Amino acid sequence: MTPSAHGLVGREAELAVAAAEVGRLGEGRAAVLAIEGEAGIGKTRLVQSFVDDARSRGMAVFCAGAHPFERTRPFAVAAAALGLSPRSPDPRRAGVGALLAGTSSGTSGFVDDIQYRVVEEIVDLVETACAERPVLLVAEDLHWADTASLLTILSVTRQLPFAPLLTVVTARPSPLRGEVVRLLDDLSAGGGRSVRLRPLTSDEVATLATHVLGVPPGPRLTAMLIKAGGNPLWVTAMLRSLADEGMLRRTGDRMDVTSSELPASLSELVARRLLDLPRPTLDLLQITAVLGDAVSLREVAAVARMAPAAVAGQLREAYDAQLLDEVDERVVFRHQLVHDAIYQHVPAPERRLLHREAAVALMATGADRLDVAGHLVLGAERGDEEAAGWLREAAREASGQSPLVTVELLRRAEALLPAGHSDADLVSTEVVQALVRAGSVGEASARAEAVLARQHAPEVDIPLRVALVGALALQNRADELITVVEASLGAPDLLGPAEQVLMLAQQSWALTYSGGPRAGESAAARALAVAEQANDAAMSVWGQTALLVAVGRQGRFQEALDHARRAAALAASSPDTRSLPLQPKLFLGLALFDCDRVVEARAAFRAALDDEFGSAWWLSATLMADAQALFAVGEWDDAVPGLLAGGHAAQEKGNPLLLSQSLAYRAVVATAKGEHRAARELADGLTEVLESEELSYNAGVLAFAAAGLEAAEGNRQKAFDLLLRSWRFDAARDSRYYQRCLAPDLVRLALALGHREVAAEVADGVAAGAVLAPEVPTVRSTALRCRGLVDGDVQPLLEAVALARSTPLLVEHAGACEDAASLLAKGGMRDDAATLLGEALARYEQAGADAWAARVRAGLRAIGAHPGARGSRDRPAEGWDSLTATERAVSLLVAEGLTNGAVARRMYISPHTVNTHLRHVFAKLGVPNRVALAAVVHHSNE
């Protein structure tokens, strides 16, 4: 057994894994490797072997490690690895660095918008580098990493599965913070490999000792080295210490010890070395340890109040004692364990004092607030008002970059204030607001309620109530939200116009979605009146948006569109984009879609995706809306990737309603294609919602999906029950939003099962809805279909077909054709019936709805008509001709060298959607990577 080129002993298997993963980068597929092990076990040296190997192969290497006192700096690891600094010579890196430094203009007022933008920019930077050559991305010591860097690592690995990228992370096995554990679990679930470095065996320890000493260890030294527990760092440190203290003697061809006395741990060994240092050197060494494990000489000099040259001279003996090194003009401890030992050697009270003094000295030098904040968190004590104020300022600086860091800083500031301090309630309010922004809405509402329930400073009452209403809205706690708003509006003199509008708009949505759209309309109208009286355009957008939702839920779709147009126009002309609550172009698109204006709706969704404003908050909703529009017109090959991406984004944002809609539409597609197993797996994700005591406000589309599968499997009664419960749930709340997807199937099933009274009830309901929206073709078409089915009259059904035919909507058009054909066939008009069935068949085949198409073919055969050959959709299963139009478009752009992000922006989709299309493309073309794809594209277009 001999050490590797890097002096690694006993790591042959791990080095083989490393070599294999680096070698696989040439195949163009991403891989992830997580290395865990205790301090000193060899993680960094193993990683260095990866780095050296990658560089020797001409690969790009981005490498950085987290540091113990940098958890308050958002994106610290990612920024260090990629060189993200406003002073970077690369304009893109400088731009991201400016965002992180808070010096970039154009940032929106949305909470996580900067964080979202930085993550997307980093993903694009890495992908751009991957397009030039394979990339090794290394993030060491995740146990100290900031939350934004953890998010970045996960996003890079998720969004770049087809890039030549090897991501390597290291961590100690315990104790680990929850977010680090979740990241490691997510990396593993995504196919990442993990390596746990074990202690060296006794034979491997002997080999390491031989490598260090030049000769094998003797029996007494071998016995002593057992104390190291197989930790290579401790083995090496023991040997060097024995040599430094003259305790080694060569006996024949072996090296042995002259004494058995040696410290029992590395910490004790380091402490013993400290005793030999001059007091001034020890003092500087302790200051260095408090500042971090890698610090600038100027920082040490500033805290010590000495000239840098004098500091360098006094630290020389620490270098000679092999405690320090110098790397890139920074003072670096030889190993993290050495740093930890020196840091822990400083008594805790003195450590706190040194951290506090470091903070003061760094403040005086104009250091970044977030750098100072880390020391204040560790050094300030209760009653330190200056530290509390500084932490609050640092929290404001971090608020856009990382909401979770903001919460941590404000919690510490709150803990520092003495009991009864005049700012205590104000800081508590800031904590609540930060918790809402960070998504910790349960804790935010609990804390807000606790403060409001006791005596509190008058000036925080309204901000707390506004934050509480926001937190309750995000938890769908409508009843409590309504109560809080009513209590707040009971004292209108305390509320400014903006606060009144915010409260009323939130109350409107809560009322609308909890079953009171008329009451919601009233609240929205009040909000709009207050905003218009105050001549506040941004607040008017709140009022108009709340109003369009309330009237739209009642089925007044054209009226909702009018409000949506006004809201979009106001938002476009408003200089106060930071106060805008929503993405008005998204809501305009939704209102257009509800009026069957699908082309205009998709244009609005694309405009919404173009906007920086609101992108982080509304990305998942916009992606889902556009995917649903594609579903509606039968472009299912493009809809499904969009639904997957929208569902993924919804999951990341913690939006269960949009996630359930993604499942529902995908279940409909799977059912229509005849893929019942896949449909069942998707529908199972809807069961809890549909069987709950209180249905959610999007239950209509969920019931449509689940009932469609049940009916396809022959469970007509269950399908009927699902649809009827959802229908009556909406009817009781005066909501007509989902009538178009519920009513036709419910009427058809009711008649088939002998429930004519239910069929008549539904037909009357949709007829009343048609009166409210006569301009919308599918609303009128649905009413005519249901009336014709109930009355057995084919004429209304033929009118329904004509109306549905005027729209691009698949389910409504083909469904109307099937219903009308059914009555025509019963009346003996088989040719007319066959014509309509052929019309339905063409739509189904174009969408790939094979099971629905088979149903229509069976209907044609039943009336003696020949279905004919399959339609034009039947294409090869593999090869260039097997690709859909969108897959070809993605392939062409990728072949041009565009990154996923650039392709996504060009095509108005998400990088996740691009990845989904690429998976399909690679499988159909039988290519392993983007380079091979580019070759196929070139050949196919010669």
Does residue 750 carry a pLDDT above 50? yes
Say which range, 244-253, 671-680, 886-895, 901-910, has the weakest mean pLDDT: 901-910
Does residue 137 carry a pLDDT above 70? yes
Token code pair at residue 26: 């040439």
What's the pLDDT score for residue 613? 46
Number of neighbouring beta carbons within 10 Å of residue 34: 19
Over the chain, what is the mean pLDDT? Answer: 87
Contact predicate 749/723, CB 8 Å: yes
Contact predicate 407/434, CB 8 Å: yes
- Helix or strand holding residue 64 (H, E): strand 60-65
The closest of 829, 825, 747, 740 to 776, measured between CA atoms, is 740
Distance, CA of 120 to CA of 102 (rounded, Å):
17
Distance, CA of 867 to CA of 520 (rounded, Å):
50
Contact predicate 727/743, CB 8 Å: yes
Confidence of residue 893 (pLDDT cuts 50, 70, 90): confident
Distance, CA of 151 to CA of 651 (rounded, Å):
14
Classify residue 217 by its DSSP letter: B
Question: 249 forms bridges with which residues in the sheet?
Answer: 256
Token code pair at residue 677: 């197993």
Contact predicate 75/100, CB 8 Å: yes
Say which range, 129-143, 180-194, 703-717, 913-927, has the weakest mean pLDDT: 913-927
Confidence of residue 759 (pLDDT cuts 50, 70, 90): very high
Helices (H) and strands (E) in the chain, counts: 48, 10
Contact predicate 134/50, CB 8 Å: no
The string of DSSP letters for 880-932 reads: GGGS-HHHHHHHHHHHTT--HHHHHHHHTS-HHHHHHHHHHHHHHHT-SSHHH
Distance, CA of 144 to CA of 142 (rounded, Å):
5
Q: What Å distances lie between residue 742 and 640, 729, 762, CA to CA?
A: 22, 12, 9
pLDDT in tens, 851-866: 999 999 999 999 988 8
- 259, with CB counted inside 10 A (0-12, 13-18, 19+), is exposed
Which residue do the tokens 């993903």 mark? 123
What's the pLDDT score for residue 228? 79
Distance, CA of 327 to CA of 295 (rounded, Å):
10
Distance, CA of 327 to CA of 325 (rounded, Å):
7
Contact predicate 890/914, CB 8 Å: yes
CA 812 to chain centre: 35
Contact predicate 177/143, CB 8 Å: yes
Burial 470-508 (b: 16+ CB within 10 A, else e): bbbbbeebbebbbebbeebbeeeeebebbbbbbbbbbbb
Does residue 106 carry a pLDDT above 50? no
What's the pLDDT score for residue 400? 67
Query: Which residues, other chains included, contact 784 with Cβ-Cβ below 8 Å and sequence gap of 6+?
Result: 796, 797, 799, 800, 803
The closest of 796, 737, 319, 381 to 549, measured between CA atoms, is 737
Does residue 491 carry a pLDDT above 80? no
Number of neighbouring beta carbons within 10 Å of residue 905: 16
Say which range, 108-117, 294-303, 441-450, has the weakest mean pLDDT: 108-117
Say which range, 101-110, 300-309, 489-498, 619-628, has the weakest mean pLDDT: 101-110
HSE-CB at 116 with a 13 A cutoff on CA atoms is 20
- Helix or strand holding residue 231 (H, E): none
Does residue 104 carry a pLDDT above 50? no
Distance, CA of 791 to CA of 823 (rounded, Å):
11
Question: 217 forms bridges with which residues in the sheet?
Answer: 255
Higher pLDDT, 877 or 280: 280
The closest of 667, 673, 670, 710 to 686, measured between CA atoms, is 667
Token code pair at residue 435: 């918790």
Question: 256 forms bridges with which residues in the sheet?
Answer: 249
Which residue do the tokens 């050197």 mark? 281
pLDDT in tens, 581-623: 567 899 999 999 999 999 999 999 988 877 654 444 567 788 8
Distance, CA of 750 to CA of 760 (rounded, Å):
9
What's the pLDDT score for residue 344? 85
Through-space distance between the first and last CA atoms of the chain, rounded to whole angstroms? 56
Return the axis-axis angle of helices 911-925 and 930-940, rounded to nearest 10°. Answer: 70
Return the axis-axis angle of helices 584-594 and 557-573, rounded to nearest 10°. Answer: 160
How does strand 60-65 pair with strand 135-140? parallel
Phi, psi angle pair for 181, to nearest 5°: -60, -45
Distance, CA of 734 to CA of 518 (rounded, Å):
8
Average pLDDT over residues 378-404: 85
What's the pLDDT score for residue 109? 35
Average pLDDT over residues 177-203: 89
Sheet containing 330-333: give its strands across.
Answer: 294-296, 330-333, 324-327
- Helix or strand holding residue 139 (H, E): strand 135-140
Kindly report whether the global pTM for this prediction surpasses the value 0.85. no
% residues pLDDT > 70 (the chain): 94
pLDDT in tens, 531-551: 999 998 888 998 999 999 999
Token code pair at residue 429: 């309010």
% residues pLDDT > 90 (the chain): 43
The closest of 262, 250, 175 to 223, measured between CA atoms, is 262
Confidence of residue 555 (pLDDT cuts 50, 70, 90): very high
Longest Cα separation, the chain: 111
Query: Which residue type sits at 57?
Result: R
Confidence of residue 25 (pLDDT cuts 50, 70, 90): confident
**Most confident of the ranges 10-14, 220-224, 766-770:** 766-770
What's the pLDDT score for residue 6? 57
The closest of 438, 371, 144, 344 to 411, measured between CA atoms, is 438
What's the pLDDT score for residue 942? 63
Distance, CA of 659 to CA of 649 (rounded, Å):
9
Distance, CA of 598 to CA of 601 (rounded, Å):
5
Confidence of residue 869 (pLDDT cuts 50, 70, 90): low
**Most confident of the ranges 55-69, 290-304, 587-601, 621-635:** 587-601
Phi, psi angle pair for 761, to nearest 5°: -60, -45
pLDDT in tens, 317-358: 888 887 888 877 788 887 777 888 888 888 989 999 998 998
